[in-house]
Amino acid sequence: MKTASLRTAYGETLVELGKKDDSIVVLEADLCKSTMGVLFEKEHPDNFFEMGIAEANMAAVGAGLALTGKTPFIASFAAFVPGRCYDQIRTSICIPSLNVKVCGSSAGLSDFGDGSTHQSIDDLALMRVLPNMQVFSPCDAVQTRQIVEYMAQNEGPMYIRINRNDLPVITEESEAFVPGKVYTMREGGDVAIFATGVTVAIALQAAEELAKQGIEAKVLNVPSLKPIDEAAVLAACAGTKAFITAEEHSIYGGLGDAIAAIAAPKLTRKHVRMGMQDTFGTSAENYAVLMEHYGFVPETLVKAALDALN
């Protein structure tokens, strides 16, 4: 299966948008070569601002630029943005609902070598709780490009979470991004698996294995954690015996809580959560080793489905 870099898709999309819209500006906090904001710097140097290791100041400057009519994209590792500038995002961006776009790059465990200080297991929770903030988690490079385009073309505070590593391309170019939409990636009537980001591809692999055992799993891609189409979530669960949520994030405050808040009051279904089980990450030699250590593999979802159905 073809793979592609979400970070490169982010940077290249900003470059193209910058050619059409001079209001787009990019702010970085000493990590533009990693976030790929460096691509925008090379093409649009006058609209690029290197803020240094000063994430809180970067967020405040972004708010100021938005007040002048600019469309600022502020970016760093997701552990630092929103981590180090949460107060500024809350107070200076979300309370006045300014048109600032926030990018948390190298999200989840994907910065495998630097350990827990550089891994974000809480960014979705931090961003979901803020009024006025929209929260997106693309599953591949295609969806990253679509979401960045949406962010640039629409008003208001928005957050995008981007994986550091190349991921399988599973989104069709013709499938437009719609905020709130829940995308059915595979049909199935026994169990529903809601996934976001890197876990979507994992869920599809798990569904293949479950099919070999006579269990049909419906796989749902949820790139938009806020807003989210509540009717679509309930419809996806209808007829199934259980539902699973899978996210490279803490089991608290992210996709699992978003789906449970919708489904639990109206449906009697067993809910199993795949995610970081109230623990921080650690460093590893490579991403695959780390993902296996924390259970982000198809086998985990297969076992979760079997347990939920028994």
The pLDDT, as a whole number, for residue 148 is: 98
- pLDDT for the residue numbered 1: 82
| Residue 270: per-residue pLDDT | 87
Task: Provide block-wise average pLDDT over 10 residues at a time, the chain (310 residues).
Answer: 96 98 98 98 98 98 98 98 98 98 98 97 98 98 98 98 98 95 97 98 98 97 98 94 96 97 81 96 97 98 93
pLDDT of 158: 99
Given the residues 12, 28, 41, 55, select the one marked as catalytic.
55
pLDDT digits (tens, 9 = 90+) for 151-206: 999 999 999 999 999 999 999 999 999 999 999 999 999 999 999 999 999 999 99
Q: In 3D, which of 303, 298, 270, 296 has the Cα closest to residue 112?
A: 296
- Closest by Cα among 233, 61, 306 to 48: 61
Cβ neighbours, 10 Å, residue 28: 27
Q: What distance in Å separates the CA atoms of residue 88 and residue 5, rounded to the nearest whole number?
A: 29
Active site residue 55: yes
The confidence score (pLDDT) of residue 212 equals: 97
- Residues contacting residue 124 through CB under 8 Å, at least 6 positions apart: 135, 137, 161, 225, 247, 249, 253, 254, 255
pLDDT at residue 264, rounded to an integer? 82
Output the pTM of the full model: 0.97
Residue type, 17: L
Q: Set out the domains of the chain in order of their start, with CATH numbers.
A: 3-168 (3.40.50.970), 183-309 (3.40.50.920)
Measured N-to-C along each axis, helices 141-153 and 6-20 cross at an angle, to the nearest 10 degrees, of: 30
